[in-house]
Amino acid sequence: MKILFITANRVGDAVLTTGLLAHLERLYPDAAFTIACGPYGADVFRAVPRLQRLIVMRKKKFNGHWVDLWRQCVGTKWDLVVDLRNSIVSRLLLTKKLATHCRGSGKHKVVDNGAVLGLNPPPDPFIWIAPEAEAEAEKILPADVPILALGPAANWPLKQWPIESFISLAEKLTASNGALPNAAVMILADEHERDQVAPLLRAIPEQRRIDIIGRDLQIAAACLKRARLYVGNDSGLMHLAAALGVPTLGLFGPGFPHVYGPWGEKCAYVCTPESREELLASSQGKDSLMRSLSVESAVAAAEELLVPRERNTEHNKFTEPSCVSSQEVL
């Protein structure tokens, strides 16, 4: 059986489609998969079982990347094409069955992705990690030390929590009387963001600092899965942590947490007191719009995530008003 899976360009969107792919991988144990995605999220799919081909679509003028994809796929008779980009390419291929993504419903992206195959509840995102990435993580990380993972960057400056807030949060959580006393602190970001997050790196004592900035997503995932907690901006790394089952706290300001909040029972997000509209109306350039999100509210939500608790029969709710579970949007 031959399955073509056309997925997202950005890391976060790509991660949120992995539940659908994992469902297909379990449903069709003899299927061979061809996956088409953008270059940023390609590493998310490199360890998928029975991956026959990974087509990395690099954007070209006049939508030339779609023409290239069609040329690479048109000669195959597909059993199933799942097109989460709702592209014209999937309509021009020979396939027994076609499933395409339509306009968003306003619900969480995981819900919309599941609806492509009529799955309700939708399958949770899932990350496959290559053995060599696991081995590299064993070399990088200290043994028997709790790890706090931080994602201080984002692809839009307006939705980046100030670095000084991350520094304060790390100090409070890893203090001797904190929720993760004397934990190592792992910093994740792209290499081009190193200067931006440098103050945070400098603030963490060298013996407790784990710098995996610029590592590929397979190694980042292998390291991240060993963390006790992840706290970060609305970004692809946030979704990666949640998909790995790490307790994940997302930090939101001018974003859409009901659509892009971290997904999972061990996930929550905190928001600025102001709405997205209020924040954008007050924007004065490229400075962060996240300054009103207090360190205290983020620390409280992080501590709550680390406390074992029974799941509410309806939702996994927090008592802090600014904290809600991703499951509340269903």
Contact partners, residue 256, CB within 8 Å, separation at least 6: 276
Domains of the chain: 2-115 (3.40.50.2000), 131-329 (3.40.50.2000)
Spatial distance between the Cα atoms of 80 and 70, rounded to a whole number of angstroms: 15
- The CA distances from residue 321 to 108, 257, 318, 325, in Å, are 20, 15, 7, 11
Spatial distance between the Cα atoms of 88 and 304, rounded to a whole number of angstroms: 46
Spatial distance between the Cα atoms of 14 and 236, rounded to a whole number of angstroms: 8
The set of long-range contacts for 240-248, using a CB threshold of 8 Å and a minimum separation of 24, is 240/11, 240/15, 240/44, 240/127, 241/149, 241/151, 242/125, 242/266, 242/267, 242/326, 243/15, 243/18, 243/124, 243/125, 243/126, 243/127, 244/127, 246/149, 247/305, 247/306, 248/305
Spatial distance between the Cα atoms of 170 and 201, rounded to a whole number of angstroms: 11
Q: What is the DSSP string of 150-219?
A: EE---SSGGGPPPHHHHHHHHHHHHSTTSSSTT-EEEE---GGGHHHHHHHHHHS-GGGEEE-TT--HHH
Query: What is the predicted pLDDT for the residue at 33?
Result: 98
**Cβ–Cβ contacts within 10 Å for residue 184, how many?**
21
Query: What is the predicted pLDDT for the residue at 155?
Result: 86
User: Cβ distance 117 to 13 under 8 Å?
Assistant: no
Query: In the 8-state DSSP scheme, what is residue 234?
Result: S
Neighbouring C-alpha atoms within 13 Å toward the C-beta of 232: 31
Q: What is the DSSP string of 63-110?
A: GHHHHHHHHHHTTS-BSEEEETT--SGGGGS-BS-EEE--S--SS-HH
Spatial distance between the Cα atoms of 177 and 269, rounded to a whole number of angstroms: 24
Pull the structure tokens for residue 143: 């043994």
DSSP 3-state percent helix, strand, coil across the chain (nearest 5)? 40, 15, 45
Closest CA to 250 of 182, 313, 298: 298
User: Cβ distance 34 to 5 under 8 Å?
Assistant: yes
Query: What is the predicted pLDDT for the residue at 321?
Result: 29
Spatial distance between the Cα atoms of 105 and 261, rounded to a whole number of angstroms: 15
Q: Could you read off the pLDDT tens digit of each residue along the chain, which spans 330 residues?
A: 999 999 999 999 999 999 999 999 999 999 999 999 999 999 999 999 999 999 999 999 999 999 999 999 999 999 999 999 999 999 999 999 999 987 888 999 999 999 999 999 999 999 999 999 999 999 999 999 999 999 999 988 899 999 999 999 999 999 999 999 999 999 999 999 999 999 999 999 999 999 999 999 999 999 999 999 999 999 999 999 999 999 999 999 999 999 999 999 999 999 999 999 999 988 776 689 999 999 999 999 999 999 875 444 333 332 232 333 333 322
